Amino acid sequence: MVFKLEGHGDAVRSAAFSLDGRRIVSGSDDRTIKVWDAMNGEELLTLSGHADRVFSVAFSADGRRIASGSDDNTAKVWDAASGQDAVVTLSGHIHLITSVAFSPDSRRIVSGSLDCTIRVWDVATGRELRMIETRPTTITRDSRPRPEHFQPVSGVAFSPDGRQIVGGLRGIAKIWDASNGQEVVTLKGHTGFVNSVAFSPDGQRIVSGAADKRIKIWDATSGQELITLSGHADQVTDVAFHIDGRQIVSVSADNTLKWWDAATGRELHTIGARDTVHGEEHEVVGFVGQFTPAIGVAISADGRRIVSCFNERTIGVWDATNCQKLLTLKGHAREVTSVAFSPDGQRIASGSHDKAVKIWDATTGQEVLTLEGHISEVTSVAFSPDGRRIVTGSNDKTMKVWNAAPFREVFGEDLDSLPADTGDK
């Protein structure tokens, strides 16, 4: 372990690297946001101002601002250098804010809330530019929303050029103009709740997965349905375009992961999670709405390989072009919950219920390091943009930053002079 980030007084809800990889921001149930030096673990700033739990944090692309969303129904924008009182407070939501994200140009923030609205904000002034309402009836500040009020939005995100926002609703998906909140087009065709939506890398198409067991590809300009992909036996819970836009990966509650040809709709391959591991049968844990844990899936930066974990003890590495299994990574003693490729594609990191983080050689499948230090399940792993460090989150209420590069790069010592197969100092 390179260092341990200690300082929050309660559970850490969200963490993110700055784009340059030099800082980490975290949000906690202790109502604070903290900024850390990602090189040495030093606490740089504590941002106080929220009146309740902080659920979501994000750096702007230029690293100058931090956005936070809280159970106090507000989002805040902070100066990431000085940590002074919130530059602006974004007030308007009437229930907990579950997610915040900056636009690619760092000038706007989109927020999603349990009040069933999406709001777009001006970062400089804090002015609400647009409210997109997704509930059919009125919710007041004095009432908690009832189930019939909800029109939940899944996977709210900006388009690659930052001009549009897409979200999935009950039976439909919608695209909105991010500048004025006007509905651009409604994607009609699903008969169940749309669990996941994603833009293609070039922004010209949208893929959606729904509770009706179907995947649909749409023209992002006209809203025309281009193709329907059928094959899952239960609701589709997550969808994503491959980096080249030619393939789609989908996850379903039927415990399968499928690859599809995005042009023809042909099913290329299916990975079933009912595999026998250590003499036991294990299943995928699907992503239902926004509240059920997802399986771990990551695509290498060059788009050639996919790594996946099906909440079991092994990890699979697949050729994304022909869907052939390349490697099976074995070593964890309990279910693997999260996987990630390093930016250069040479290593894979994994976190597990066995409380350990492992680093693997992505070419040979050899276990390179085991990082031990968490005292409860590891729930998430992520590489820094330069690939030299890993940040992990755990049910032990801590984040840890680990050395993912050769030891001599970090400590100035020869690799041979340090203990092998540990992440300890």
| pLDDT for residue 378 is more than 60 | yes
Please write the tens of the pLDDT for every residue from 203-247: 999 999 888 999 999 999 999 999 999 999 888 876 777 767 888
The first and second tokens of residue 138, run together, are 């009125």
Please write the tens of the pLDDT for every residue from 22-42: 787 888 889 999 888 867 778
The reply to whether 3 falls in a domain is no
The reply to whether 377 falls in a domain is yes
Same domain, 312 and 417: yes
- Give the number of domains in the chain: 3
Provide the pLDDT confidence category of residue 421 given band limits of 50, 70 and 90: very low
Same domain, 288 and 317: no
Same domain, 229 and 307: no
The reply to whether 142 falls in a domain is no
Same domain, 325 and 261: no
The reply to whether 135 falls in a domain is no
Please write the tens of the pLDDT for every residue from 355-373: 999 999 999 999 888 888 8
The reply to whether 71 falls in a domain is yes
Coil, helix or strand at residue 39 = coil
Residue 373 identity (one-letter amino acid): G
User: Which range of residues forms the domain containing residue 299?
Assistant: 295-425
Read off φ and ψ for residue 234, nearest 5 degrees.
Answer: -150, 180
- Cα 28 to chain centroid, rounded: 17
Last residue of a domain, one of 228, 258, 293: 293
The reply to whether 245 falls in a domain is yes
Helix (H) or strand (E) holding 319: strand 314-319
CATH number at residue 28: 2.130.10.10
Which comes out higher in pLDDT, residue 293 or 32?
Answer: 32
pLDDT of residue 230: 93
Read off φ and ψ for residue 254, nearest 5 degrees.
Answer: -80, 10
Last residue of a domain, one of 129, 161, 196: 129
Same domain, 125 and 195: no
Residue in the structure block whose two tokens are 């919608």:
174
CA 198 vs CA 1, 133, 290: distances in Å: 35, 20, 15
Burial degree of 138 (CB within 10 A; 0-12, 13-18, 19+): exposed
* CA triple 305-268-328, angle to 5 deg: 40
The reply to whether 134 falls in a domain is no
| pLDDT for residue 416 is more than 80 | no
Last residue of a domain, one of 65, 95, 129: 129
Please write the tens of the pLDDT for every residue from 250-288: 877 776 668 788 999 998 777 664 432 223 333 333 222
Please write the tens of the pLDDT for every residue from 107-139: 888 887 777 788 888 898 888 988 887 754 444
| Strand ranges across the sheet with 296-299 | 296-299, 305-309, 314-319, 325-330
Same domain, 33 and 124: yes
Q: How far apart are the two ends of the chain, measured CA to CA in Å?
A: 6
